[in-house]
Structure 1
Amino acid sequence: MTTKMAIRNIITSQLCHRIAKSSISIFIPPFSTRNSPSFSSSAASHHRNLISLCNLFLRYGFPPSKFPSFLKQNEFLLDSSPLEIEKSFKILLSLKPSQEFLVSTVSGCPRVLQLEFLEKWQLGVVNWEIPNITSIAIRNVLEISRKFGLSPDDVFKCVKCLKGSGFSEDTITRVLENVPLVIMSSEDKICSKIDFLIGIGIQRREIDRVICLFPGFLAFGVEDRLKPLLDEFNDLGIRLSEVKREVLRNPVALGLENGELSQCLEMARNLKCRVAIKKDIFRDGEFRAGYNVKLRIDSLRRHGLIYRDAFTVLWKEPRVILYKIEDIDKKIDFLVHKMKFDVQCLVEVPEYLGVNFDKQIVPRFNVIEHLRSSDGLGDEVSLQDLVKLSRLRFYNMYVKPYPECEKMYGRFAGDDVVGRNCHTAGMWKLFRPQQYTESGEDVKNVKSYMKTLP
């Protein structure tokens, strides 16, 4: 390291330390070569340039607490002229007059501050003719263009192609927000993906909605991803009309990995469960059944289960396939954060996901928590005991001996226990003839009739 660089690092670190300590007002003492004879005139120039940069960034809304680390990670800015950087700021604000846009764009990709690059973009966004384009879309386009050396004309050609394909402004914005690398695609590649959708029976007027709901579709290759996926559907015996119906209902289904639906559908076909449950699983066709399995697998994996364990849970408790994903997430969050069990317990006790949350899980947990806090609980209750015990057995073990838990449990409060232990009246009692009291005249008539008999 040269002496010049060492001096610059010392000055920069001292200045950044002062900035980090003060988020409201910053006082930077003047630099004097008299008090520091070892510093050269170049160091003094660097000091003045650094002060100007700091003031400039802070004036345009950059948080003082984050600026030191930002400057340390992007030391090339120390060699830039404050005048040029301010011009770059003004060009960025002309694209989207928002301080949040400016700060997020520069923080995410500081290299966009190159003045020569931004000068080409002064009229670039205006030519797109998308008045409501979002800050995220513009930022993504600038980052990709700076990284791969694209010009505004290259981006304009892509936007023009998307418009010519019938995409609305909202759809184009969604594409630039989620898959900005599309701007590097040729017109032929974009058209080939549209032709693929037409090939499975989707009308042109419906394609805009499909892409708007699932813009990631444009990132897939036709030959290496989409056509093998369609061949897989065909091998599974799924008709093209069913594929079209499911894609229109949920276009994200086209994001399936090759072979993923085959595994999920095979498991669903081989489930050992009640006929009524299996009938409900396949009620809307095999594609929907396999895809529902895939969604539940993904939900369990997000909570920390590996792929094999997630399949095990569904295999042991098939009813989970019929439950909403929101309900599954709610039960697992309660299990991990409230009940303090490890998510791995679901592999041993998958029945937890099959019981009612409000009527069984919460009341039982409240009873156990109350007994644990009052030292009324002997042995620790496992998740298996908490879930698999019958309602009456749980009541007799943990609720009946403790009157304060009656209201908390709620299932067998008061005299309801006695009522549940009594058998209902038999049919012979319900249809028994009504009894009438006998009068004296009735008795006299019967006796006179009996005397007439031989």
Structure 2
Amino acid sequence: MASKLRRFTQTLKTQNRSLSTNPSSQILTPTNQSQYRKRILLANLLQRYGFPSSNLNHFLSRNKFLLNSDLSETETSLSILLSLKIPQNSLVSLICDCPNVLRSEFLKKWRVSLSECVSSSAIKSVLEHSSRIGIGPDKFYECRKVLKKLGFCDSTVSRVLSVFPCVLVVNEIEIRRKIEFLIGIGIDREDIERFFHIFPEVLGIGTETRLKPLLDEFKKMGFSKDEIKKEIGREPRVLGLELGELSRCLELLNALKCREVIRVGILSEGAFRAGFEVKLRVDCLCKYGLIRRDAFKVVWKEPRVILYEVNEIEKKIEFLINRMGFHVNCLADVPEYLGVNLRKQIIPRYGVIDYLKLKGGLGCDIGLKGLIKPSTRRFYNLYVKPYPECKRIFGKRKENARVKQRHPAGLWKLMRPPSHQATNEDVANMKSFIGSLA
């Protein structure tokens, strides 16, 4: 009995000694439980406001200040953002890109100011930009006052703030210089507002360093003042060209090797417009990850891409990346992909190859070149004809289909001239003519 009591006393002493040497072990478990519980509550709160659950863990790990802030303040910030009529998708995007907007002290300064904005996209852009560079509502008030004083309506002000929020740090003198420059090249004063509505980014381009040298470059390339004025008035984004960019695009057009009908279609609206269309396609390809050299190479190898609208090109690239699983760099090797029709050729062919891949009907992997290069007849004979179930995927095609008649059956009877009844005199004349020949 005495030995048991002695052993129990030694155990208590050992435990007390371990607690005294490591006091943090006394509060480790409760702290972890508290942080874990707060993390769950914060995740549930963000999910209620539309935040995707798949990104929550990464988002909270990168922004630990949310775990240290009061949960009620975070909920108040979310409710303020929701009261500004920002759509749910835009709200989630804003929080992901700029989590600092959830700080209560930031939103309290901006809540009253942003109520004067018209569009939700303008509110999102202003909040995102101001949280990054640390400007206050006074800049917003000043900028809005300047734009209204220049005669811009609310929709144009919202458009400028939405597309180019950097206007908050552009002073009034520089904005007036832009207006004077546009009037100097022949743009009517009544069209100035439309110009800024279409291309607000011009407010961030230096007048002396970029706009005037660009105008001089157009003149050195042989374009007349009236032609330059016409093209700028038609498409204000022309002023967004870099120095030397249009000449590079025109060099590409001169080096094109394509059918004459394609060349005529490209140049149908003039060389200036054609060069700018090349610039738009190159920018579109670069936006998806191609380097500029490869983008020019794609346009040079596949000139038909210039005849397609930019939104059609974007649909093809998104289908290539998101659905087919190829990298955008594949376009440098197979630029013909952008020259064919998405709905009529690309989607049916991909559907057939994908089906055969799942069924194990392909002996090897079919790359983008093997999908696009073959003609319709060859692709049909290789991958569709041996598999009857693929005909439904590829679309209706009959090898022995009859040529569709251009006219209804029996129309020839209605169009036949009336017959002339031969008389005895006609018969006698014909006999005498035949007899003379004999």
User: How would you bin the TM-score normalised by the shorter chain?
Assistant: 0.5 to 0.7
Residue matched to 2:275: 290
From 165, 180, 184, give the equivalent of 2:150. Answer: 165
Provide the C-alpha distance between the structure 1 equivalents of 2:240 and 2:180, rounded to a whole number of angstroms. 17
SS of the aligned residue for 1:237 comes to coil
> Unpaired segments of 5 or more residues in structure 1?
1-6, 26-56, 420-441
Contact in 2 for aligned 1:74/1:110 (Cα 8 Å): no
Residues 275 and 173 of structure 1: CA distance in aligned 2, closer, same or farther (over 3 Å): same
| Correspondence list, 1:281-430, <5 A | 281-410=266-395, 412-416=397-401
Deviation, 1:192, is: 0.3
Alignment of 1:278 onto 2:270:
no
Residues 61-210 of structure 1: pairs in structure 2 closer than 5 A = 72-73=64-65, 108-109=99-100, 130=116, 132-134=117-119, 137=122, 155-210=140-195
1:294 maps to amino acid: K
What is the identity percentage for the equivalent residue pairs of Structure 1 and Structure 2?
43
Partner SS, residue 182 of structure 1: helix
Instruction: Provide the C-alpha distance between the structure 2 equivalents of 1:365 and 1:96, rounded to a whole number of angstroms.
Output: 44
Deviation for aligned residue 1:270: 2.0
Deviates more, 1:355-364 or 1:267-276: 355-364
Partner of 1:247: 232
CA distance in 1, matches of 2:126, 2:346: 49
Return 5+ residue gaps in structure 2 as ranges. Answer: 1-25, 405-426
Structure 2 counterpart SS, 1:305 = coil
- Return closer, same or farther for 1:400/1:188 CA change in 2, 3 Å cut-off: closer
Q: CA deviation at 1:204?
A: 1.4
User: How many Å apart are 1:254 and its aligned residue?
Assistant: 2.2
Whether contact under 8 Å (1:112, 1:142) holds in the other structure is no
Give the paired residue count: 383
State the alpha-carbon separation in 1 of the partners of residues 137 and 324 from structure 2: 55
Does structure 1 retain, via aligned residues, the 8 Å contact 2:170–2:204? no
C-alpha distance in 2, partners of 1:382/1:221? 46
Distance 1:109 1:406, change over 3 A: closer
Counterpart of 1:300, as a letter, is: L
Secondary structure at the aligned position of 2:299 is classed as helix
2: CA distance, partners of 1:11 / 1:158 = 51
**Which residue in the other structure is 1:263 paired with?**
248
TM-score, scaled to structure 2: 0.67
Report if the CA contact (8 A) 2:86-2:121 is conserved: no
Mapped partners of 2:60, 2:322: distance in 1: 37
The CA distance in 2 between the partners of 1:297 and 1:141, in whole Å, is: 29
Q: Cα–Cα, structure 1 residues 240 and 408, in superposed 2: closer, same or farther, change >3 Å?
A: same
Pair 158,365 (structure 1): closer, same or farther in 2 beyond 3 Å: closer
Q: Provide the C-alpha distance between the structure 2 equivalents of 1:8 and 1:199, rounded to a whole number of angstroms.
A: 73
Q: Distance in 2 between matches of 1:99 and 1:378?
A: 49
Q: What is the CA deviation profile of residues 354-407 of structure 1, one whole-angstrom value per residue up to 9, with x for unaligned ones?
A: 233333333333333444444443344443343333333333333444444444
1:17 alignment partner, one of 30, 36, 54: 36
Bigger shift: residues 211-220 or 189-198? 211-220
How far apart are the structure 2 equivalents of 1:17 and 1:265? 61
Q: In angstroms, what is the RMSD of aligned CA positions?
A: 5.0
Cα drift, residue 200 of structure 1? 1.9
1:278 shift after superposition? 1.2
Distance 1:74 1:296, change over 3 A: same
Per-residue deviation, 1:412: 4.3
* 1:304 and 1:343 in contact (8 A); partners too: yes
Q: What is the letter of the counterpart of residue 323 of structure 1?
A: Y
Distance 2:211 2:399 in 1: 62
C-alpha contact (below 8 Å) 1:17/1:68 kept by paired residues: no
Check conservation: 2:249, 2:279, Cα contact below 8 A: yes
CA contact (8 A) 1:111 1:146 kept: no
Task: Assess, with a 3 A threshold, how the Cα gap between structure 1 residues 409 and 22 changes in structure 2: closer, same or farther.
Answer: closer
